[in-house]
Amino acid sequence: MAYNILIEDIRVWKKDCASIPRDRLQLVVRKIYALEKDPWANNVQVKQLKEYGIADFRLRVGDYRVLFNKDEDTKTIQLLRLLHRSKLY
């Protein structure tokens, strides 16, 4: 069950990625690829967000969070933001 990964706003995504150390960013990219293969795998820490207006789900990668929406009908994952946890909540 593979999903297509889409980035909603590439400018915002690049800005978010620019503030992350390179080694952490590589780890985030690996987790996103794992998310693409199977969003509910045991090694992928996904949580459904309740009453959070921006996104429906978040992916936890160390101290960073990837906010995304998932569409089961079209099998797409729409990446929204990549932020440090202190700036997210």
Q: What is the pLDDT of residues 7-55, one digit of tens each?
A: 999 999 999 999 999 999 999 999 999 998 888 877 789 999 998 888 9
Q: What is the pLDDT of residue 53?
A: 86
CATH of domain 4-83: 3.30.2310.20
Q: Which residues make Cβ contacts (< 8 Å) with residue 48, sequence separation at least 6?
A: 56, 57
Predicted local distance difference test score (pLDDT) of residue 18? 96
For range 61-72, the mean pLDDT: 95
CB 71 within 8 A of CB 6: no
Question: Does residue 1 have a pLDDT over 90?
Answer: no
Residue 57: predicted pLDDT: 95
Mean pLDDT of 47-73: 93
